[in-house]
Structure 1
Amino acid sequence: MKNYIILFVGICVFAVKSYAYQDPKNKSNKPNIIYILADDLGYGDLGCYGQSEVFTPNIDKLASEGMKFSRHYAGATVCAPSRNSLITGQHMGNTTIKSIEKPILAEDITVAEMLKTVGYQTAVIGKWGLGTVGTTGYANSQGFDYSFGYYDQIRAHNYYPDYLMENGERYPIGNKVIYVTDSSNYAVGIGSAAIEKNVYSNDLFTEKALDFIGEIAGEPFFLYLAYTIPHANNESFLINQHGMEVPNSGDYAEKDWPDAKKSGAAMISRLDSYVGQIMAKLKEKGLDDETLVIFTSDNGPHQEGGWKLNFFDSNGDLRGMKRDLYEGGIRVPFIARWQGKIGAGSTTDQPVAFWDFLPTACELAGVTAPTSTDGISYLPTLMGKSNMQRQHDYLYWEFDTSIKRQAIMKGDWKLVRIESSNPSTDVIELFDLSNDIGENVNLASKYPEKVNGFMHILEKYRDQ
């Protein structure tokens, strides 16, 4: 059934709008799309978002040459559901993966499948996390011509794995556990075992991405480049080490900081260097004017592996972090750069979310978005036509573990509900983000009618 749906929507073409830059029937005018996703990078971790201690010159340049969003939201507050929202164009109320990792469904329609219907070559490199080989969520069964990296979340917590996956097959990369009597010659040791570190996985992701861009000829491409930096390494062999793992501390080696902070800063700057390499390759190939490059993060900053978000103000002025539905957990940096199309140095406070990417990519490619999406294309905003930008009635998130969290935002108003097994400890908070970006003042008692309206929408998704 899914193939028939895709075929139907694939042959439908948007009418040319007044802000359009192309004739969508002309394949040569379809832009390449590179979507770069960081892992656990906070709203305040980049220079262009106010960071002063960690250096990100390449990403800052991306912002100076493109558009910076101040109100862009991840799909969820943790990895798997957020990535699911991005790929399927659905918010947490309607999508398959709401909290823990499991395969997306065969009938889920992905952005890669939509772009393939109009001739795009598609690749996912890095952390997929939506299904391994043999499941319905396997990337190559979900519209990607090429896949490389971590297919599952748990292996992605190791920066020096013994193998990665390439198109369904193991790809050995030279790292291995060695059993020795004395592990002092190795960077990380646990008793009689150590890791021989030869290849840092994210370095290899960049090499593969550069190869993919270098080998493309003729047809437009979509590259989903999902790094695992700066997520902490949670593998058991790091029990006596901090978890911010990177080959070296780079520019921060001589800083009077704890080792975890040096390494965490070096991870972010290493990510920045990857972005610089990608942009240099586009210029080398003459693809600079033909490629939309997006940079963002899958959720807010973590506080694991020795990393403390307050050390560098990783969440900026926002409250909360990863696993929260406060702004610090879901509001993430977002930069879009397209030479000659997006205004250099432009900014916007237009609220958009991960589930808006699928319809945006579809509009760019000239294919009608599937009805399954909860998203709205933000192409008018990118093109500087904010007066033509459609608006969401509301944005919705949830995160359900032992505690159920829900959040809804309409305009500048946002409600957060937190439920536990003890109803007496339940929390309902209402914030006016226009005056309280830090979500410090709970206005629920002052505006009961507004709270009731929000709660009515939350109940729609209460038990789904």
Structure 2
Amino acid sequence: MTRALFALVVLASPAAARPPNVVFVLADDLGYGDLGCYGQARVRTPVLDQLAKDGVRFTQCYAGSTVCAPSRCALMTGLHTGHCRVRGNGGGGGPRANVPLRPDDPCVADILKRAGYATALVGKWGLGEEGSVGVPTRKGFDHFFGYLNQHHAHNYYPDFLWRGATREPVANPQSATENVAAKFAHYAPDLLRQDALRFITANKDRPFFLYFATTAPHANNERTRATGEGNEVPTDAPYTAEAWPQAEKNKAAMITRLDADVGVLLAKLRELGLERDTLVVFSSDNGPHREGGNDPAFFRSSGPFRGIKRALTDGGIRVPAIARWPGTIRPGATSEHVWAFWDVLPTACDLAGVPTPAGLDGISITPTLTGRGEQRRHDFLYWEFHEGGFKQAVRHGNWKALRQAPGAALELYDVVTDPGESRDVAAANADVVARVEAYLRTARTESPEFPVRAAKK
């Protein structure tokens, strides 16, 4: 082979191709059953339903936790809540402060930045307070615009948002409890969407990673305590005429507005000719809430599963997940592959063509996305949760095990035949219980910030 021909072969090889852009859209408190493509009959989500038709819809994706901060920690670090730094909301030196990520904690953005990606977080962080080592710009994000703290993120009409390490004023009323959509008020999700569009446009000629962590449809809990209704949205359209409680109208409007925001991002990728170069993933950080005056049963937001946010039953941790990558992901596919948020970091490493750090809990799902190569599977998935006493959950094959308190007997469910986790079959499956107990002996390390505690009586 001549040197010139060899050069042409190298240039045309997959290894020499530009790695894909990655846009990861994370909703906040959106339930498995809140999208039309997952069975929702009342709330309109045409963009996300079409995204599922254009890509793959996962039926067995699990969030990192059942509340936001630890779920996002698992997503960013590739470690489940038995090993990751942030295992709960709070715990960081005050009732409203989070434990920060440390400099040596792995982070998706850090790895992709070193691989040549432009990196941005637009939206909610929750893994490091102001001045800490865990702020986004110290964890690999070139660009950050949004909220550091989940309590600040409750407010949809804030008087400031963070831009990098600086507070950027927003011309809104000051009160977190009385902010109502005034004629010229600035609705934070609109500002986040506009910033994300600017980032995509500015980095269209290089690989980029955009983590778009919207706050919808989370409720403003402070406003709820003051007024009884905390679903902050400029209008309840297109549900104004529905004979529903106002809280449900507003929640539905937030979800439909989120759906439209995703549509705007997709349109920008199309306008810039980046569709085939971009993997778009959509998911939610945990199950649906009972906050803001909402009843999660009204829209069957948990789908066929039992429980909501703060539960380790599947209603609290099984989440919608959709991936689209035209020309690579087969459109209209449904996947039953069992995976969790800690699989995102090794998947990103695969896509960027860089080594995966040692010691992670995650496994790349690139073979499932691309249809190429053999997909490795987890022996088990593990969660622990510390609010209201220490609880644990394990997914092993078709089995789901729950321990509701330290020393309590394991409950066992077959989540394929019993997705509602209504029939405890531990007594009839002693061998499975013993296997799970063996997993639990090695599933976690101790955490000084999140010690094992029994529930207070």
Question: TM over 0.5: same fold?
Answer: yes
Q: Which residue pairs with 2:158 in the alignment?
A: 161
Whether 1:288 aligns to 2:259 is no
Structure 2 alignment gaps of length 5 or more: 1-11, 90-97, 447-457
Native 8 Å contact 2:124 2:147 kept in 1: yes
Query: C-alpha separation between the residues in 2 aligned to 1:275 and 1:169?
Result: 27
Whether 1:304 aligns to 2:316 is no
Native 8 Å contact 1:160 1:197 kept in 2: no
Whether 1:321 aligns to 2:330 is no
How much does 1:86 deviate? 0.3
Q: Which residue pairs with 1:431 in the alignment?
A: 413
Q: Which residue pairs with 1:52 in the alignment?
A: 41
Q: Which residue pairs with 2:452 in the alignment?
A: none
Q: Which residue pairs with 2:336 in the alignment?
A: 349
Whether 1:104 aligns to 2:101 is yes
Secondary structure at the aligned position of 2:145 is classed as: strand
Query: C-alpha separation between the residues in 2 aligned to 1:463 and 1:357?
Result: 21
How much does 1:215 deviate? 1.3
Secondary structure at the aligned position of 1:130 is classed as: coil
Q: Which amino acid aligns with 2:271?
A: E
Q: Which residue pairs with 2:7 in the alignment?
A: none
Query: C-alpha separation between the residues in 2 aligned to 1:463 and 1:277?
Result: 42
Whether 1:36 aligns to 2:31 is no
How much does 1:383 deviate? 1.1
How much does 1:458 deviate? 1.7
Native 8 Å contact 2:401 2:412 kept in 1: yes
Whether 1:450 aligns to 2:447 is no
Query: C-alpha separation between the residues in 1 aligned to 2:179 and 2:438?
Result: 54
Whether 1:114 aligns to 2:103 is no
Secondary structure at the aligned position of 2:426 is classed as: coil
Q: More displaced, 121-130 or 209-218?
A: 209-218
Q: Which amino acid aligns with 1:55?
A: R
Alpha carbons of structure 1 residues 178 and 373: separation in structure 2 relative to 1, 3 Å = closer
Q: How many residues align structurally?
A: 427
Native 8 Å contact 2:224 2:230 kept in 1: no
Query: C-alpha separation between the residues in 1 aligned to 2:388 and 2:338?
Result: 30
Q: Which residue pairs with 1:339 in the alignment?
A: 326
Query: C-alpha separation between the residues in 2 aligned to 1:325 and 1:169?
Result: 37
Query: C-alpha separation between the residues in 1 aligned to 2:241 and 2:232?
Result: 17
Alpha carbons of structure 1 residues 85 and 112: separation in structure 2 relative to 1, 3 Å = same
Q: Which residue pairs with 1:11 in the alignment?
A: none
Query: C-alpha separation between the residues in 1 aligned to 2:175 and 2:24?
Result: 37
Query: C-alpha separation between the residues in 2 aligned to 1:178 and 1:105?
Result: 33
Deviations 1:318-361 (A, max 9, x none): 01111111000000000000011100101100001000000001
Instruction: Identify which of 390, 403, 424 aligns with 2:389.
Output: 403
Q: Which amino acid aligns with 1:458?
A: L
Q: How does 1:31-430 map to 2 (within 5 A)?
A: 31-100=20-89, 101-177=98-174, 188=180, 198-236=185-223, 239-385=226-372, 388-419=374-405, 426=408, 428-430=410-412
Q: Which amino acid aligns with 1:460?
A: T
Report % sequence identity. Answer: 48
How much does 1:196 deviate? 8.8
Computed over aligned residues only, the root mean square deviation of the Cα atoms, in angstroms, reads 2.0
Query: C-alpha separation between the residues in 2 aligned to 1:388 and 1:405?
Result: 34
Query: C-alpha separation between the residues in 1 aligned to 2:317 and 2:224?
Result: 30
How much does 1:433 deviate? 1.4
Query: C-alpha separation between the residues in 1 aligned to 2:292 and 2:324?
Result: 33
How much does 1:372 deviate? 3.2
Q: Which amino acid aligns with 1:137?
A: G
Query: C-alpha separation between the residues in 1 aligned to 2:394 and 2:429?
Result: 15
Alpha carbons of structure 1 residues 246 and 343: separation in structure 2 relative to 1, 3 Å = same
Native 8 Å contact 1:33 1:292 kept in 2: yes
Native 8 Å contact 1:46 1:60 kept in 2: yes
Structure 1 alignment gaps of length 5 or more: 1-20, 189-193
How much does 1:62 deviate? 0.5
How much does 1:142 deviate? 0.3
Q: Which amino acid aligns with 1:295?
A: F
Secondary structure at the aligned position of 1:333 is classed as: strand
How much does 1:133 deviate? 3.1
Alpha carbons of structure 1 residues 187 and 29: separation in structure 2 relative to 1, 3 Å = closer
Deviations 1:367-398 (A, max 9, x none): 0110132111001001124x710011111011
Deviations 1:50-87 (A, max 9, x none): 00100000000100000000000000110000000000
How much does 1:22 deviate? 6.4
How much does 1:301 deviate? 0.6
Query: C-alpha separation between the residues in 1 aligned to 2:307 and 2:159?
Result: 35
How much does 1:217 deviate? 3.8
Secondary structure at the aligned position of 1:143 is classed as: coil
How much does 1:187 deviate? 6.5
How much does 1:134 deviate? 1.6
Q: Which amino acid aligns with 1:450?
A: V
How much does 1:441 deviate? 0.6
